[in-house]
Chains A and B, each alone.
Chain A
Amino acid sequence: MTAHRRIVRTVALAAASTLALAGCTAGSTSDDEAKTGVVVGLTGEPANLDFTTTAGSAIPQVLMNNVYEGLVKIDQEGRIQPLLATDWQVSDDRTTYVFELADGVTFSNGDEFTADDVAFSIDRVKNDWTLSLKAQMDVVDRVEVVSDTEVRVVLGRPSNSWLFAMGTSVGAMFSEGGVDALATDPVGTGPFTVEEFVQGDRIELAARDDYWGEAPGIESATVRYFADAVAQTNALRAGDIDMAWNMQAPDLVSQFEAEDFQVIDGTSTGEILLSMNNRVAPFDDVRVRQAVAYALDRQAILDAAWGGYGTLIGAMVPPTDPYYEDLTGEYPYDPERAKALLAEAGAEGVSVTFDVPTRPYANAVSEIVVDQLAAVGIDATIRSAEFPAVWLDRVFTKHDFEMSVILATEARDFATVFNDPDYYIGYDNTRIAPIIAAADQGTEEEFVDGMKEAVRIVTEDAAAVPLFLFPNLVVADAGLTGIAGNAVTESMDLTGLSWAD
Chain B
Amino acid sequence: MLRRILVSLGQFAITVLVATMIVFLLLRVMPGDPAVVALGINATPDALDAWRHEHGTDRPLWLQYLEWMGGLVTGDFGTSYVTSQELTPLIADRVQVTLILVGCAMLLALVIAVPIGTLAAVRHRDAAGAVLSGASQIGVAIPNFLVGVLLIAFFSVRLGWFPSGGWVAPAEDVGAFLQRLVLPVIALGSVQAAIITRYVRSAVLEIMREDFLRTGRAKGLTFGGALVRHGLRNAGVPVITIVGVQLAALLIGAVVIERVFAIPGLGSLLVDSVANRDLLAVQAVVVVLVLLVVLLNLIVDVVYALVDPRLRREAA
Contacts and interface: CB of A to CB of B under 8 A. Distances in A.
A2 B225 CA distance: 10
B52 to A, nearest CB: 12
Given A130-B44, A237-B157, A392 B37 contact: yes
Contacts of A34: none
Given A131-B43, A183-B83, A389-B37, A234 B157 contact: yes
B160 A130 contact: no
Contact of B222 (A2, A21, A53): A2
A5 to B, nearest CB: 9
Given A387-B275, A392-B33, 12 more contacts: A3-B222, A3-B223, A4-B119, A29-B162, A54-B38, A183-B83, A234-B164, A238-B156, A238-B160, A238-B164, A240-B163, A393-B33
A394 interface: yes
Interface stretch (B18-26, B256-264, B291-299, B308-316): B256-264
B56 to A, nearest CB: 17
Residue from A22, A47, A230, A237 having most chain B Cβ neighbours under 10 A = A47
Contacts, number: 184
B166 A240 contact: yes
Contacts of B47: 130-132
A386 B222 CA distance: 62
Contacts of B160: 29, 238-239
Residue from B41, B44, B156 having most chain A Cβ neighbours under 10 A = B41
Interface residues of A, number: 56
A231 interface: yes
A434 interface: no
18 contacts: A4-B119, A8-B119, A21-B178, A21-B182, A22-B182, A25-B162, A25-B178, A28-B175, A48-B84, A201-B166, A226-B165, A231-B164, A234-B164, A239-B160, A388-B40, A389-B32, A392-B33, A393-B32
Interface of B: 30-33, 36-44, 47, 50-51, 80, 82-85, 90, 94, 108, 111-112, 115-116, 118-119, 122-123, 149, 152-153, 156-157, 160-167, 175-176, 178-179, 182, 222-225, 227, 259-260, 262, 264, 268-269, 271-272, 275-278
Interface stretch (A10-18, A87-95, A148-156): A10-18
Contact of B32 (A4, A199, A392): A392
A199 B166 contact: no
A189 B178 CA distance: 38
Given A14-B112, A132-B44, A392-B36, A2 B83 contact: no
Given A8-B119, A14-B115, A47-B83, A225 B262 contact: yes
B11 to A, nearest CB: 33
A201 B262 contact: yes
A118 to B, nearest CB: 23
A452 interface: no
A390 interface: yes
Nearest to B119: A7
Contact of A4 (B80, B122, B178, B225): B122
Residue from B32, B182, B260, B269 having most chain A Cβ neighbours under 10 A = B32
A177 to B, nearest CB: 21
A199 B182 CA distance: 22
A130 B262 CA distance: 31
A199 B157 contact: no
Which 7 A-B residue pairings sit nearest by Cβ, starting from the closest? Answer: A55-B40, A3-B224, A389-B32, A200-B264, A238-B156, A130-B47, A47-B82
Interface string A447-474: 0000000000000000000000000000
Contact of A132 (B42, B166, B276): B42
A231 B165 CA distance: 8
Contact of B166 (A17, A131, A224, A237): A224
